[in-house]
Amino acid sequence: MLKNLRISFFLAYKSITRGRKSISIALVVIMIMIFILLGFVSSILLGVTDAMNRQMIENMYANIVIEPGEDEDYIVKAPLLQRKINNIPGVIGSAAHYIVPATFTYDENKDGKDVKTALWTVDSIKPEEEIRVTDIHQHMVAGEYLEESDRQEIILGREISGGYGAQLPIKSLGGVKVGDEITLTFNNGVQRDYGVKGIFSASFPLVDIQAFITEREMESVLGVHNRASEILVKIEQTGQEGRYIEELRRIGLVKEKIHPWTDYIGMLSSVIDSLGKVRLMIAGFCLVVAALVIYVIIFIDITHKRKQIGILKALGLGKGIIINSYILQALFYAILGIGLGLAAIHFLLIPYFASHPLVFPLGFVSLVMTKNLLIFNSLVLFVVALIAGFIPSWQTARENILKAIWGR
């Protein structure tokens, strides 16, 4: 058994090292291309999903959202709760927000003509704690982020401002710039003027339709104190939200509604699901094409060697030796293709797309190549090569000896 395997290995080795180089090169190139294609399409689609998820976590909801309990307007004693939350090991920080609907009005020429009005919500933040929880401060495209002491300042998302390359200008204020003044009429009837301190854009419309003022300013508008419409909680390990929600319940958040960020995906979940299905379909097609291409090339190669196979059989070599030698060759080409494909992905594609990310409506998308994806693709290609090497060699090895030798 071991001897037969050694003979198969010997035949495979000699065929690879002394056989036709054009077939070897073609097989390796095809394996590389298939491996890259398998990984590339998946990683782009994973990148899109990942970009959406990151936008949700980094710029909208953090990992966990705490909302007031049933029939409550606000979470009470928010600062006290936040101190408890921040003391939980693994919590990076928490941020309390008031969320209030308001009518935004912009009179560009201050003449009462061509006044732009839109209804959005405005959130309050404590800038210093907010930067531990969300990344809005990193996405300022004009002006500056809020400071704790700001009262009459507001920062707007690009889609509200309508300028700076906004993609939904119809619903916007039509081109508000940093330094302009806008008027907010809150749902409690309070009306105040704010100077636009900064414009932010995370290149994701759902993020860019937000507007922020400071918490101190919002509390003066609402006439409340130490409360919150929501508290966002950022944790170290995304994916562990369930564990932290249990912890939050344990420290006394019993009445409050607590949601992981995934509960807010909403319509995006169908996009993510569809992308997952597309990814699987493309991967499936790639594999079928890969299997057929490898099969055809090995089949052509084996067809040229039919006579040799017949002679080996005529001389008394077993079918197993012959089949195994071709399987070993196919696996060698697969391993080489996988290795070179991995090198191309790591040293060419990932660095390239890291410095030249693709621009999607949901932000910049780079390749997301997970270890599991690479291992899965490698195993799949390995198995495909195994099958594509086995079938033609088995077909030829079981052929009648004389038919194989004389082709009749």
Partner 1 sequence: MIKVENLKRIYPSKVPVEALKGITFEVEKGEILGIMGRSGAGKSTLLHQLGLLDNPTSGKIIIDDVDVLKLSDSGKKQFRLERLGYIFQEYTLIPELTALENVYLLSWANSKNRKDYKKAAIECLERVELGHRLHHLPHELSGGEQQRVGIARALVNNPKVLFADEPCATLDSESAEAILKLLTELNKELGQTVVMITHEPEDKRYVERIIYLKDGLIEKEERTVL
Give the binding site for partner 1 (CB under 8 A).
3-4, 7, 10-11, 14-15, 17-19, 307-308, 311-318, 321, 400-402, 405
Buried (b) or exposed (e) across 301-327, using 16+ Cβ within 10 A?
A: bbeebbebbbebbeeebebebbbbbbb
Torsion of CA 290, 294, 297, 303, to 10 degrees: -140
> Please, which residue, 112 or 316, has the CB nearer to partner 1?
316
How many C-beta atoms surround the C-beta of residue 104 within 10 A?
Answer: 23
Nearer to partner 1, 14 or 249 (CB): 14
Phi, psi of 183 (to 5 degrees): -115, 130
The Cα–Cα gap between 232 and 94 comes to 5
Q: How many residues does the chain have?
A: 408
Residue 387 CB, shortest distance to partner 1, in Å, is: 24
Of 16 and 88, which has the nearer Cβ to partner 1? 16
Q: Which two tokens stand for residue 225?
A: 């104190």
Provide the minimum distance between the beta carbon of 51 and partner 1 in the complex, in angstroms, as a whole number.
Answer: 51
- 223 or 316, CB closer to partner 1? 316
Q: What distance in Å separates the CA atoms of residue 132 and residue 123, rounded to the nearest whole number?
A: 16
3-state SS class at 101? strand
CB of 321 to partner 1, least distance (A): 7
Judged by CB, which is closer to partner 1: 125, or 312? Answer: 312
Which lies closer to partner 1 via its Cβ, residue 10 or residue 347?
10
DSSP assignments along 274-286, one per residue: HHHHHHHHHHHHH
Cα dist from 241 to 60, 195, 308, whole Å? 16, 38, 62
The nearest distance, CB 305 to partner 1, in angstroms, is: 9
Alpha carbon 303 to its chain centroid, in Å, reads: 45
Q: Which CB sits closer to partner 1, 89 or 316?
A: 316
* Comparison of 53 and 308: residue with beta carbon closer to partner 1: 308
Neighbours of 339 (CB within 10 A): 15
As measured in angstroms, the least distance from the Cβ of 4 to partner 1 is 8
Q: What is the DSSP letter of 367?
A: -
Q: What is the CA radius of gyration of the chain?
A: 31
With respect to partner 1, which residue has the nearer C-beta, 267 or 315?
315
Closest CB 324 distance from partner 1, rounded Å:
13
Strand 153-157 and strand 191-200: the pairing is parallel
Closer Cβ to partner 1, 227 or 313, answer by number: 313
Helix axes 371-397, 21-56, angle to 10 degrees: 150
Residue 402 CB, shortest distance to partner 1, in Å, is: 6
The distance of closest approach from Cβ of residue 9 to partner 1 in the complex, given in angstroms and rounded to an integer, is: 12
Tokens in use for 383?
């198995």
Query: What's the min distance (Å) between Cβ of 307 and partner 1?
Result: 7
The helix-helix angle for 2-18 and 319-344 (nearest 10°) equals 50
Report the nearest approach of partner 1 to the CB of residue 13 (Å).
Answer: 9
Residues 340 and 9: their CA atoms lie apart, in Å, by 22
Say how far apart CA 251 and CA 22 lie, in whole Å.
69
